[in-house]
Amino acid sequence: MTIELIDKKTVRIFLSFDDMQQLCITYDQMDYKDPDTKRVILNLLQRVREQTSIDLSEGKLFIEAFPHSEGGCVLYVNVVNPQMPIPLSKPKRYKNNFNTPIIFEFGNIDNVINVCDKLFNQYSHLILKSSLYLLDQKYMLLIYTYFKMDDKIVALVSEYGQLVGKGAVKGSFIKEHAKPIVDNIAIETIVEYLC
């Protein structure tokens, strides 16, 4: 089990397959209405309190779980500030569109391979799909994410390539004008065959 502070109110907990077995739960069984899931969450919150300075008992919790390779999972636990004023009008909710890519450009295939290896190892649980194209002798990697961790992904990828932009319009342009190399599972395919 790995516990990592993302910020003052957010913790990422990585549970391996062995951790899941010790806790007697699987990702598919997780449901906050389930007593076993509540037991596991309380156990994890106690461990977070013991290992970090963050107290997750002071406010409402927002918990997101994502499956991870080989039977593990990643939990993001965020404390919602109890002091935050309640707005009088309902805030606008924007639909999270999984069809909006973050687009990166690379000058060579070695940088693409290196970044795919890092993305797969660190953020595969957050990536819905990825596609690789060739446009004007540049490699274009389109990444579609599950979670609003785009800043972390952008920071990692920017070490190897350049952020071109984000959005369905730019993604459509690339799909229409570029030569497809790998569609939908580019990161996984590159890691499997080239790393």
Q: Are residues 71 and 126 in the same domain?
A: no
Q: Higher model confidence: residue 135 or residue 57?
A: 135
Q: Higher model confidence: residue 35 or residue 56?
A: 35
Q: Is residue 148 part of a domain?
A: yes
Q: Are residues 76 and 106 in the same domain?
A: no
Amino acid identity at 184: N
Residue where a domain terminates, one of 80, 110, 130: 80
Cα-atom radius of gyration of the chain, to the nearest Å? Answer: 19
Amino acid identity at 96: N
- Rounded CA-CA distance 154/117 in Å is 15
**Residue range of the domain that includes 190:** 102-194
- Give the pLDDT confidence of 39-60 residue by residue, as tens digits: 888 888 888 888 887 777 667 7
| Number of domain units in the chain | 2
Q: Is residue 88 part of a domain?
A: no
Model pTM score: 0.55
Q: Are residues 108 and 152 in the same domain?
A: yes
Q: Is residue 94 part of a domain?
A: no
pLDDT winner (highest mean) among 36-50, 79-93, 160-174: 160-174
- Rounded CA-CA distance 133/182 in Å is 7
Q: Are residues 115 and 34 in the same domain?
A: no
Q: Is residue 114 part of a domain?
A: yes
Q: Is residue 24 part of a domain?
A: yes
Q: Higher model confidence: residue 94 or residue 22?
A: 22
In the chain, the percentage of residues whose pLDDT exceeds 70 is: 85
Q: Is residue 21 part of a domain?
A: yes
